[in-house]
Chains A and B, each alone.
Chain A
């Protein structure tokens, strides 16, 4: 009987289904426009299609499954339509109200954006991938209010930006904590195409769950995963041209000679002695030779920048495949990036450069000697990335995931004169462009030997680039994560358990080859050669670093539910364990270990009143026993005013949410050393005893004294914010005001009695810094139309910190204290014009007790009016090197397949210290354009630079750190621009391709600033020229989706 019924039902059903096997339809938006490319899937199957150019689709249904279609498209609310008994349907997709369904990634979870009460900003993958850079950190610039980026180097593979969330509030490490897919990992070199979203957590409410490591803010990267549907293949290819942003040529040889002479005469020295003029001659006749270039071996006029640079190139290829069904979802991707540096290192090309060609033509020996050495010493960077994210549903309730990511990097560069050491910056290649006078040495001597100038033997870039060897660094990184999610609805609806285990390993090695020719200085007077550096025969070497292992475990119990329709309650209880080992330094064999118990409760009443409590109970083995655990609590509240009954539904004001938070977070990154609670004993000096002094036994002394009370920094943070949307959600405006008080900052205590004899004290938790500011974001997004869309967004961020306490050594005058200023505030003398006469010198406050001042020297202000300018007259000058204000403007439109987007980004209220090779005249014999306006008796009234001296160095009072040498660090740049064209669907309907997109984009295309000689974001520590200049990039790309 039962069987008969079943058979009957089967027959009925199959006849019904049979008659409905095909479903046709058209998908439109609310305005009636047809929608192209809407994914149409039968629910819970892999059976699907995409709407065509007329918005039309046709699908054969799987008769064994539910006759329900899911229609989805980015920007629209996914619709489910039951097509039982229908052969033809028209579907209207509702445009997604911006943000309403949007989910953001938060610490240890996700949350609907509308219910977020903390200060969280996020960036989408699209914004990241349209910046043609190798490091994702560079593509974040200007994208997120409150995130300060500073790109200090352009070295291929090493050009990532430093990141600061809401500026800085510590003298220690202020890097944010970064996590990739929930595990602490660097994301500097991650393949941008793999990124789904980037969340930046700024306030205590968002970061308290990271407890002891959250105080500097947290950046969460989520990588892409597969979704149910047809397999999708994405392919990207890019080719770009790179060029340095800033590289200043020194003045020509004749001008340099005149200036050398002037400086030497100014010092009362005899300019006819070469030892007084940076070792090159400066007579009238010599100037004639410099000008006419009749004798390039004795009187060269080298243009180093022109001779040794070329535009670099970069290429990027990426392919990813994603898709899935009810059991398995996958996202796999392989990416390759390569960037070639801006040095011309091919000898065949160098031989064509005019200055070198001239030498070749003049001397057959040079022609014979300058040979290709057969190896590649150019700067380049290759990166291979592979990622596989797999999700498997074992049962309806249990899902597991396996994520594997692999990164291989290779960096190549010339070897250094000193060997194959790892200090790439020690090359000073760019420094040699800045610091050398054009006539310092010919690149090669007439006898075919390599040339250099006496005393600066290491400065010939031709030798470095073409004849010194090379070094390649290899780096491998393997990251694996296993995770599971267990839906416990069978125990209690809304309850789930999940966990993950991650094991990351990083290993690196290098190999290289070094050689060096003998270097000679040519003396034309007696046709002799003075030997400088001794040559080195080619030899190879290699090495490897100890591997780094990181482990992470996490287990979380979650609940999410609705009680009585209006009480939305969710929460998580999570425990985790982290162990990291990094080689090098004392105590390096013992890993850093963290343990934490984390809890969060979210509650909202009818989507009107939002509340959230977060807490992290953390333990860290960086501290002494008994001081290892601490509780970091935070709470936040929100009020969605527009959901109140008394607020009328309005087309003008769509959404208003007020939110506020306060809480505590910690920072245990206290510099490189980990075990401050233990005393150290270190090798001391050797002292000579005996008739034949024998310093075999090296002394031993106390190193750093232990501080058993050491603990983490604690940040107490307040945040008040508002999110609003107006005019059909086209206009959005958000604002956040914050204040942070960072206490217990680890500081070397300067206020201790020297008479105790202690040489080095362990840092103590003495420092205190406050940091406050605001962020504004104003955006406009047009309604989504078929033909024309546009958007614009402005962000403005301000963060200013103030040192409340830093255990500063006592000073005789209050204005000398750094305490009360910003972290990193420049301190120095105050420029008070140039002395214009000896009478003025005599009448002015004595300068440092010096007796050799002359008109044209810098005059400093006597701040304390004691008649003497000395170290007690140093005050805060300029700002710090980290900008206090950052802002951005982005805008764009798309029109019938064309699109354009722009990003302007800027910063202000910072200072750049111009010194050494890049700032001073005659640091090693070089001069720049601004030195044309130096002080001379004739130009006294208009001079903008002090008189020349025989040589500039920090011991001379003109070159003391003063505001004269600080430049305003403000800048505005066109950070990014992209123009693209989507080939009409019509043209590719007969191909397997879904879309084809061509684009051109550029990075750092224009910069407006006052620093000029170097990039305004340059790290001031590198101002001696030991840096690789930042690059601008013009890039051509093609994206195809199948």
Chain B
């Protein structure tokens, strides 16, 4: 009897032990929010939407302290270790791209699709808002996401040509992920256009949230992205006759097809220029001052831009060292760029007596170029000369911080920021991605390619020349501007427009891509020069010298390399030629 009891106890203990425990493993984590929690809750549902904006690329000094334009004939970085030099000198590999929007754009695309998907699927109740109004709000945010996706895809198109189109919210392990491949250039253009059209449908000309939403995507922003995309689509790089690689441009494009593309592009630009507010006024207008444009917020010349809080980091980086807090220099203009400015009366500048080269130039010259003796507003004059009276702003005076071309870049800077004060001020530095000047000049370019300099057969309201002159007039040119005098042919006009873009949109990450789409790569394949000024007593000796003779450009650099990882992981993703 006794033994039986023990048997029973034994059996009971072991079995209970085994079974009681089972429940413990079923504990699951509960202290973390899931999408259902976020998208159904006031104040939180907008967070994933806002997050998508943070993937907008571009901005000041985004490439290890330098502006992208330091990789063009316009600029040079004073920072010896900056990766920008690898870009301008051709030391780029598919596994070490200096300039690659691939990761960022695709993360942005996924975030936008993530937000769209959950805005659509998850029910949201808002305080003091009817269900119809909730749908309206959701649709606006969905429209913003379409516009952002168009922007991200345009960024990819600019860099790589055709890219893999992602239209879906993939979950991990989705077999479709493993067979992603690049779409043709034409399909990508069409996709961006259709994304933009969706955005245009959902969005209003004014941002949601009124002035508090300045910087959000609007109808005009979506139209501008579409217009720029169509301009690229019409540009020479992507319309090479005899091209048989559908990934890098339109297949075997004819002159007629190219012309049709310019026609579409011109119309899309005109749509932006002529976009009206409900009260009938133009949505976009040129700011009255070119100088104040870049530090004014809000201004209705900006269409797409990178929002940022007030700051003074740009001044710290770009001021000459004597004015900077602890940096200085940064990206500085080259002599080539200085030479590109016209005279004040619009006449072309030709090199002569170097000591007078800074006199009587384009009104924008003193806004953009800091040269020896140039005035920095209330901060006073700066000197880049060597010899008597040399300062830390002098040519190569302080490594990494003083100019290495003899010039400093004044554009974008606010001279109210004074680092010698205990509290240097802050200012807005909204980096323009698309602004009205850009669209006007693109309009001029497209109109000129189709109709020549002086025709407006579709009654858009402006001829190519009108558009260019609108930009120059705002810049401060007077009625004596001879810039377009005698320009009668498409070819002459094209050169004028190219030069105008170079000056007006300088250091705004435009020329890097303009030179590529125009196939003007030879400009990137030559040394850049600077000015050396030496003071001896009262005399100043001026001489030009080579700043960087390692500049290199080969035809395969018209497009960027697809990241090596993608090629290696998915062999069906084809690399661009030459990489």
Contact = CB atoms under 8 A, between A and B. Distances in A.
A695 B48 CA distance: 14
Given A697-B47, A761-B172, A809-B565, A870 B308 contact: no
A688 B172 CA distance: 31
Contact of B32 (A587, A625, A690, A758): A587
Interface stretch (A422-430, A466-474, A658-666, A846-854): A846-854
Interface stretch (B10-18, B193-201, B379-387, B440-448): B10-18
Interface string A614-637: 000001110001001000000000
Given A754-B103, A956-B81, A681 B307 contact: no
A955 B52 CA distance: 32
A593 B212 contact: no
Interface residues of A, number: 83
Contacts of B89: 849
A31 interface: no
Contact of A591 (B13, B27, B114): B27
B29 A587 contact: yes
A269 B106 contact: no
Given A555-B14, A697-B43, A687 B569 contact: no
Interface string B96-124: 10000011001111110110000000000
Contacts of A678: 28-29, 32
Interface stretch (A67-75, A702-710, A790-798): A702-710
A680 interface: yes
Contacts of B53: 687, 689, 699
Contacts of A809: 565
A588 B31 contact: yes
B19 to A, nearest CB: 10
A488 B24 CA distance: 31
Interface stretch (B213-221, B234-242, B489-497, B518-526): B213-221
A691 interface: yes
Nearest to A591: B27
Nearest to A628: B25
Interface string A593-620: 1010100000000000000000000011
Nearest to B212: A690
B27 A621 contact: yes
Contacts of A762: 172
Interface in A497-517: 497
A894 B34 CA distance: 69
A691 B93 contact: no
A285 interface: no
B209 to A, nearest CB: 7
Contacts of B31: 586-590
B142 to A, nearest CB: 17
A98 interface: no
Nearest to B208: A689
A563 interface: no
A78 interface: no
B396 to A, nearest CB: 8
B79 to A, nearest CB: 9
A491 B6 contact: yes
B170 interface: yes
Contacts of A595: 21-22, 24-25
Contact of B568 (A268, A675, A810, A848): A810
B91 A621 contact: no
B565 A810 contact: yes
Contacts of A697: 43, 46-47, 50
B51 interface: yes
A753 B566 contact: yes
Given A575-B17, A690-B212, A872-B95, A681 B34 contact: yes
Contacts of B10: 488, 497, 557
Nearest to B39: A700
A868 interface: yes
Contact of B172 (A597, A758, A868): A758
Contacts of A850: 80, 85
B301 to A, nearest CB: 15
A956 B82 CA distance: 11
Contacts of B38: 681, 700
B214 A553 contact: no
Most buried by A among B7, B13, B95: B95
A755 interface: yes
Contacts of A848: 86, 91
Contacts of B106: 754-757
A849 B27 contact: no
A527 interface: no
Interface string A697-732: 111111001110100000000000000000000000
A757 B17 contact: no
A750 B566 CA distance: 11
B29 A590 contact: yes
B102 A701 contact: no
B297 interface: yes
A681 to B, nearest CB: 6
A986 interface: no
B569 A753 contact: yes
Given A690-B211, A697-B46, A754 B102 contact: yes
B307 A680 contact: no
A809 B7 CA distance: 60
Q: Which of A579, A586, A810, A811 has the most CB of B within 10 A?
A: A810
B307 A693 contact: yes
A694 interface: yes
Nearest to B176: A756
B94 interface: yes
A678 B170 CA distance: 16
Given A597-B18, A755-B164, A684 B47 contact: yes
Contacts of B398: 269, 275
B543 interface: no
A490 interface: yes
A752 interface: yes
A751 B571 CA distance: 12
A753 B570 contact: yes
Nearest to B45: A700
B44 A681 contact: no
B107 A757 contact: yes
Contacts of A871: 93, 95-96
A759 interface: yes
A267 interface: yes
B550 interface: yes
Nearest to A872: B93
A695 B307 CA distance: 10
A588, A689, A751, A752: residue with the most chain B Cβ atoms closer than 10 Å? A689
A685 interface: yes
Contacts of A275: 398
Nearest to A707: B172
Interface of A: 267-269, 275, 488, 490-491, 497, 553, 555, 557, 575, 577, 579, 586-591, 593, 595, 597, 619-621, 625, 628, 674-675, 678-681, 684-691, 693-695, 697-702, 705-707, 709, 750-759, 761-762, 809-812, 848-852, 868, 870-872, 950, 955-956
The 5 A-B residue pairs whose C-beta atoms are closest, nearest first, are A757-B110, A699-B51, A810-B568, A587-B29, A700-B47
21 contacts: A268-B399, A557-B14, A577-B17, A619-B25, A687-B50, A689-B53, A690-B213, A693-B215, A699-B53, A700-B47, A701-B114, A706-B172, A751-B568, A755-B164, A755-B166, A755-B573, A757-B109, A811-B95, A812-B564, A852-B80, A955-B81
Interface of B: 2-3, 6-7, 10, 13-14, 17-18, 21-22, 24-35, 38, 43-44, 46-48, 50-54, 80-81, 85-86, 89, 91, 93-96, 102-103, 106-111, 113-114, 163-164, 166, 170-173, 177-178, 180, 207, 209, 211-216, 297-298, 307-310, 398-399, 548, 550, 563-570, 573
Given A679-B34, A687-B307, A751-B565, 12 more contacts: A268-B399, A269-B399, A497-B10, A625-B26, A681-B35, A687-B53, A693-B310, A699-B50, A751-B568, A753-B164, A755-B573, A757-B111
